[in-house]
């Protein structure tokens, strides 16, 4: 099993290119299921979850081809799909497989998708996805760990008014894709406003969907009979969480880094907090430049839905607080168990106390390298940041979690001057 070996204490300097967003790539790969024409996506990040999604689509009969061995453009042809099924073996490694449910139902009138199950950060049920699709007329039974869904006689979903109990990102995305081919109008109330939802809506519009209100909490979709391939390749929006992770790394280690291909306007809440911590963050000529010359100041924050502070950045900013001056309170409101990184950060010398959904971090002057274990994707990123600033050597074990959502993280950090390598 791969590990990362980090010798901390080096400030980061240079330029890093931010990849396309994992959380936009995954629904957009599924959106290709909505048409028999070949869909071309650009800026697709080459990371493990994308490879898993490609496996899932190929298993259904789709053809998926990268343009070159190292490039980021791929062509998906769901014309030959004959098996509208997402089996447990593939779904268990990636919750986002649930995103196949909406498009499969909409285009093929039936779908069999394994229940994703829980994961380290919480139980993560999909009841809202099921409820919304039922409101659109789908007949759904859940048995033997599978969601068995089919459209009523006539074979087409019907537009509906869907108000979810909470804001759900992949739920909103499933409804967008299902409603694009449904009969009549669908209104999504309490919709997620994340940039990845907006990017998916923009791709669907390029494919002929009629969507209004994406980026707000009320989205209206008028179903059409057929979708087609976008006329031009659709470039996936930059990964704001990858960008935020690099911003936090610099805030912790000090240095001066330019992020190419990132969207400052998608990172307002994160940038505000990093400025409060003492970093200078500026958007210049399409780049985001972060400089940090002092020890950070501890900053309190609370995770919430976009545009507030993202839960996917909680662990990384906690790592910055670990070496900051002062103490700060962090509240996690989205997932019930997203403090798995705390015990590992403590092994590096951090002072953190957790009480339910709140963690209080008191910064220490130095962390000391140790062997730590990654428990989930963003927990891994926080351990890498802590390792970059810790004295001596840190080994981050189980980095298959990190590989799910970051493209070439260690190569990008090494190019910025970090002493980091992957070992078996």
Ligand X SMILES: CC(=O)N[C@H]1[C@@H](OP(=O)(O)OP(=O)(O)OC[C@H]2O[C@@H](n3ccc(=O)[nH]c3=O)[C@H](O)[C@@H]2O)O[C@H](CO)[C@@H](O)[C@@H]1O
Ligand Y SMILES: C=C(OP(=O)(O)O)C(=O)O
Task: Specify whether 119 is catalytic.
Answer: yes
Does position 407 bind ligand X by CB under 6 A? no
The least distance separating ligand X from the CB of residue 417, rounded to whole angstroms, comes to 29
Task: Please work out the total of residues on this chain that contact ligand Y, with binding judged by CB under 6 A.
Answer: 7
- Residue 405: which of ligand Y, ligand X, none does it interact with, CB under 5 to 8 A by kind? ligand Y
Nearer to ligand X, 162 or 390 (CB): 162
Q: Could you give the CA distance from residue 103 to residue 84 in angstroms, rounded to a whole number?
A: 10
Q: How many CB atoms lie within 10 A of CB 28?
A: 28
CA angle 17/263/316 to nearest 5° reads 75
For residue 260, say whether it is annotated as part of any ligand binding site.
no
Q: Is 157 exposed, middle or buried (0-12, 13-18, 19+ CB in 10 A)?
A: buried
The alpha-carbon radius of gyration of the chain (Å, integer) is 21
- Residue 413: which of ligand Y, ligand X, none does it interact with, CB under 5 to 8 A by kind? none
Choosing from 312, 332, 403, 407, the residue that interacts with ligand X (CB under 6 A) is 312
Q: Could you give the CA distance from residue 346 to residue 389 in angstroms, rounded to a whole number?
A: 14
Nearer to ligand Y, 45 or 230 (CB): 45
Residues 13-72 interacting with ligand Y (rule: CB under 6 A) = 23
The least distance separating ligand Y from the CB of residue 282, rounded to whole angstroms, comes to 26
Q: Could you give the CA distance from residue 381 to residue 388 in angstroms, rounded to a whole number?
A: 11
Cβ neighbours of residue 378 closer than 8 Å, sequence gap 6 or more: 241, 312, 313, 314, 315, 316, 341, 405
Nearer to ligand X, 357 or 398 (CB): 357
Does position 405 bind ligand Y by CB under 6 A? yes
Q: Could you give the CA distance from residue 368 to residue 366 in angstroms, rounded to a whole number?
A: 7
Choosing from 4, 16, 18, 26, the residue that interacts with ligand X (CB under 6 A) is 26
| Closest residue to bound ligand Y by CB | 312
The least distance separating ligand Y from the CB of residue 232, rounded to whole angstroms, comes to 28
- Residue 378: which of ligand Y, ligand X, none does it interact with, CB under 5 to 8 A by kind? ligand Y
Does position 404 bind ligand X by CB under 6 A? no
For residue 312, say whether it is annotated as part of any ligand binding site.
yes
Chain Cα centroid distance, residue 152? 33
For residue 23, say whether it is annotated as part of any ligand binding site.
yes
Element (H, E) at 234: strand 234-235
Does position 311 bind ligand X by CB under 6 A? yes
Choosing from 74, 96, 252, 367, the residue that interacts with ligand Y (CB under 6 A) is 96
Closest CA to 184 of 132, 228, 227, 136: 136
- Residue 122 phi/psi, 5-degree rounding, is 160, 180
**DSSP result, 51-111:** HHHHHHHHHHT-EEEESSSS-S-EEEE-TT----EE-HHHHTT-GGGGGGHHHHHHHHSEE
Choosing from 19, 77, 114, 170, the residue that interacts with ligand X (CB under 6 A) is 170
For residue 126, say whether it is annotated as part of any ligand binding site.
yes
How long a stretch of residues is the chain?
Answer: 424
Nearer to ligand Y, 56 or 377 (CB): 377
* Collapsed DSSP state (helix, strand, coil) of residue 363: coil
* Residue 363: both structure tokens together: 């910064």
Nearer to ligand Y, 107 or 194 (CB): 194
Residues 329-388 interacting with ligand X (rule: CB under 6 A) = 334-335
Does position 377 bind ligand Y by CB under 6 A? yes
Nearer to ligand Y, 24 or 279 (CB): 24
| Residues of the binding site for phosphoenolpyruvate | 22-23
Q: Any idea which residues carry the catalytic annotation?
A: 119
Residues that bind ligand X (CB under 6 A): 23, 26, 95-96, 122, 124-129, 166, 168-171, 311-312, 334-335
Residues that bind ligand Y (CB under 6 A): 23, 95-96, 312, 377-378, 405
């Amino acid at each position: 099993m791969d590990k990362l070996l980090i010798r901390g204490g080096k400030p980061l300097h240079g330029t890093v290119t931010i990849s396309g967003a994992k959380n936009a790539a995954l629904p957009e790969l599924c959106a290709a299921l909505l048409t028999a024409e070949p869909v071309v996506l650009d800026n697709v990040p080459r990371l493990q979850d994308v490879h898993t999604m490609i496996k899932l689509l190929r298993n259904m009969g789709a053809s998926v081809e990268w343009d070159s061995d190292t490039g980021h453009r791929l062509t998906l042809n769901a014309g030959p799909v004959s098996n509208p099924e997402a089996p447990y073996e593939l779904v268990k490694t990636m919750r986002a497989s649930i995103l196949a449910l909406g498009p499969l139902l909409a285009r093929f009138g039936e779908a069999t998708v394994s229940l994703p199950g829980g994961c380290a950060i919480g139980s993560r049920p999909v009841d809202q996805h099921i409820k919304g699709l039922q409101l659109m007329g789908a007949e759904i039974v859940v048995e033997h760990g599978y969601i068995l869904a089919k459209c009523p006689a006539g074979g087409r979903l019907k537009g509906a008014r869907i108000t979810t109990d909470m804001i759900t990102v992949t739920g909103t995305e499933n409804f967008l894709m299902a409603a694009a081919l449904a009969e009549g109008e669908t209104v999504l109330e309490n919709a997620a406003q994340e940039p990845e939802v907006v990017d998916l809506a923009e791709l669907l519009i390029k494919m002929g969907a009629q969507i209004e209100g994406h980026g707000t909490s009320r989205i209206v979709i008028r179903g059409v009979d057929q979708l087609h391939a976008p006329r031009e390749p659709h470039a996936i929006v930059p990964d704001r969480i990858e960008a935020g992770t690099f911003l936090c790394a610099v805030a912790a280690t000090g240095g001066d880094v330019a992020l190419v291909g990132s969207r400052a306007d998608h990172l307002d809440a994160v940038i505000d907090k990093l400025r409060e911590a003492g970093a200078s963050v500026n958007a210049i000529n399409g780049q985001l430049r972060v400089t940090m010359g002092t020890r950070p100041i501890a900053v309190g924050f609370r995770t919430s839905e976009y545009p507030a502070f993202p839960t996917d950045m909680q662990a990384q900013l906690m790592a910055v607080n670990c070496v900051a001056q002062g103490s700060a309170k962090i509240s996690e409101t989205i997932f019930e168990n997203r403090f798995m990184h705390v015990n590992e950060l403590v092994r590096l010398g951090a002072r953190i106390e957790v009480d339910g959904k709140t963690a209080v971090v008191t910064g220490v002057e130095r962390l000391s390298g140790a062997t730590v274990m990654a428990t989930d994707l963003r927990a891994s990123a926080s351990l890498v940041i802590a390792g970059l600033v810790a004295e001596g050597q840190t080994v981050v074990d189980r980095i298959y979690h990190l590989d799910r959502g970051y493209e070439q993280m260690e190569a990008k950090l090494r190019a910025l001057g970090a002493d980091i390598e992957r070992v078996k």
